[in-house]
């Protein structure tokens, strides 16, 4: 098992503060002293989905309010997120998020399976190392780091196993491909989920696609994860940061996939 000393490291030798260290996969976490609650109004790009850890709510969430709390939001740019409780597992949250991407399914797949290249475009992901790969199976080691106030630095790491599924033709006009992941070493009791890419097109678009890659893609990236912390840490304390980092990671994948798609389109035009 991975040994992780629970701590936040200060850049100043005289400033040290204990905290909990959590493993990283598409999320880097921070702990606050207040409960996070879902916002009831739309939020701008790259803002917190739940209350910021730096802005505590006035009072803790009651058990009744917690039972009813669910976050489900959609933005004009096609990003959606939903947070819900898992029945019978009070300290577990299920996060479901999705984003529209202007790129081919194959392009998005190349981005999320470039395991050692993820740290190049995902903010806060310091290390993404491929430990083993064979037959659509990958074991990766990731380290996330984030600068905090007063010179403190938050660090989180974990080992994740990824199972790449084959392309699936859902219908004559749609296809999808998925990666199922599971944390096998780290400080969560549960951190299991799935990446899934779906692309939908009609017959006329498919015929055009055979001539040119420049088209309306109809591609969607979905991310689902169930999270349960160890160390008796209430999940309410970290779900706000989880939401925030899921958002950042999906938008980062979209930006990288669309960048690669534009390069492919430019290459195609130059060859005509």
CA–CA separation, 242 and 174 (whole Å): 30
Residue matched to tokens 């299920």: 94
Q: From start to end of the chain, where are the E strands? A: 9-10, 71-74, 80-86, 89-101, 125-134, 137-147, 152-164, 168-171, 174-185, 188-200, 219-229
Q: Is 17 within a domain? A: no
CA–CA separation, 66 and 55 (whole Å): 19
What does the pLDDT read at residue 203?
Answer: 59
Q: Who has greater pLDDT, 252 or 24?
A: 252
Residue matched to tokens 């196993």: 161
Number of structural domains (the chain) is 1
- Please check the confidence at residue 173 and state whether its pLDDT lies above 70: yes
Q: What is the DSSP letter of 192?
A: E
For residue 252, give its domain range: 71-202+214-271
pLDDT tens readout for residues 106-159:
999 999 999 999 999 999 899 999 999 999 999 999 988 777 666 666 667 789
All residues at 6 or more sequence positions from 43 whose CB lies less than 8 Å from its CB, including other chains = 49, 73, 75
Q: Is 131 within a domain? A: yes
What does the pLDDT read at residue 157?
Answer: 78
What does the pLDDT read at residue 175?
Answer: 97
pLDDT tens readout for residues 209-258:
554 444 568 999 999 999 998 888 899 888 888 898 899 999 999 999 99
Which CATH number fits the domain that encloses residue 161? 3.30.530.20
Q: Is 192 within a domain? A: yes
Q: Is 147 within a domain? A: yes
Average of pLDDT values for 174-193?
A: 92
What does the pLDDT read at residue 123?
Answer: 92
């Amino acid at each position: 098992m991975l040994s992780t000393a629970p701590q936040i490291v200060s850049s100043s030798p005289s400033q040290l503060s204990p905290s909990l260290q959590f493993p990283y996969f598409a999320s880097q976490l921070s702990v606050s002293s207040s409960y996070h609650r879902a916002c009831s109004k739309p939020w701008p790009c790259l803002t917190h989905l739940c209350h910021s850890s730096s802005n505590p709510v006035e009072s803790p969430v009651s058990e009744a309010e917690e039972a009813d709390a669910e976050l489900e939001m959609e933005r004009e740019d096609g990003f959606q997120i939903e947070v819900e409780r898992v029945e019978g597992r009070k300290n577990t949250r299920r996060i479901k998020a999705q984003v529209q991407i202007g790129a081919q399914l194959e392009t998005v797949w190349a981005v999320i399976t470039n395991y050692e290249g993820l740290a190049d475009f995902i903010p806060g992901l310091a290390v993404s190392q491929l430990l083993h790969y064979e037959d659509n199976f990958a074991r990766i080691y990731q380290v996330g780091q984030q600068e905090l106030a007063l010179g403190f630095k938050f660090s989180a790491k974990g080992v994740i196993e990824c199972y790449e599924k084959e392309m699936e033709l859902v219908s004559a006009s749609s296809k999808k491909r998925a990666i199922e992941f599971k944390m096998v070493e780290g400080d969560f009791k549960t951190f299991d989920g799935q990446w899934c890419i779906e692309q939908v097109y009609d017959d006329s678009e498919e015929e055009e696609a055979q001539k040119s890659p420049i088209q309306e893609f109809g591609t969607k990236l979905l991310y689902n994860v169930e999270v349960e912390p160890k160390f008796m840490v209430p999940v309410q304390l970290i779900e706000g940061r989880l939401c925030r980092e899921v958002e950042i990671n999906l938008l980062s994948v979209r930006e990288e996939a669309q960048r690669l798609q534009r390069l492919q389109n430019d290459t195609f035009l130059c060859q005509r």
